Amino acid sequence: MPMEYTYFRKYIILKNDYTNINDINPRGHARVEVRDNKGSINLNVENCEKDEHYRVYLLRERNGRVYEQDLCRIFTDERGKSRMNISLNLRELESKGFSINKIDAILIRRGIYVLLGGYIDKDNGIIDRAIKQLLSEEKEEIYSEESEIEELEPIIEEEIEKEIEEEIEEEIEEEIFQEEVMEEDIQEEVMEEDIQEEIMEEDIQEEIMEEDIQE
């Protein structure tokens, strides 16, 4: 888009050719307006998922890599429609590497789920590359998470084995303690029985002595 214009207006058809969400047939359009250093995107979408949210991104390519600028989040109503006017600070966008004349496309998505996309000027394939890059990064993230889990599995198994061994040792120690307690109780009972026998013997001897004296 030419920067020499102090004012221009451009309409963008948002196509569902890139949609990877099942059971919907979304459509929409956007109107980009620029006046001096201010701009806006008037967004209209329909036939989307009901009561859902998506994010709106500007796309540009630099050195063979696709870059996104997150603009905002939009919400659909109970009919799957959404209308929003998005304000643009052109100087701020330029400071982030998104000069208005270098922006290629608009993409609306939620995570890896793409709703609509449209080119500001000509179709240079950036939306397809953006989606491909997005899915590739998602796969790398999943692979990285799986690798971390695989690395952690031996550690987790070792910790579980250690916990089991500690529990077994505690159980054995408890059994030994209980056996020692039982042996002590038995010894005490035996001692008590011995004492009772001695007392009984002494009582019998005393009775015999008393009988002898009486005779």
pLDDT, one tens digit per residue, over 170-204 is: 888 777 777 777 777 677 776 776 677 667 766 66
Kindly tell me if the per-residue pLDDT of 206 is higher than 90.
no
| Average pLDDT taken over every residue of the chain | 83
Q: Which residues contact 5 (CB under 8 A, 6 or more apart)?
A: 34
C-alpha angle 25/28/33, rounded to 5°?
165
Rg (CA), the chain: 42
Q: Is 51 left (phi over 0), alpha (psi -120 to 50) or beta?
A: left
Which pairs from 163-172 meet CB under 8 Å and 24+ separation?
none
Using CA atoms, how far apart are residues 176 and 82, in angstroms rounded to an integer? 73
Using CA atoms, how far apart are residues 49 and 21, in angstroms rounded to an integer? 9
Lowest average pLDDT, out of 15-19, 125-129, 150-154, 186-190, goes to: 150-154
Whether the Cβ atoms of residue 83 and residue 44 lie closer than 8 Å to each other: yes
Chain segment 34-59, per-residue pLDDT in tens:
887 789 999 999 999 999 999 999 99
One-letter amino acid of 42: N
pTM over the 0.75 mark: no
Burial class of residue 194 (count of CB atoms within 10 Å of its CB; 0-12, 13-18, 19+)? exposed
Chain segment 52-84, per-residue pLDDT in tens:
999 999 999 888 888 999 999 999 999 999 999
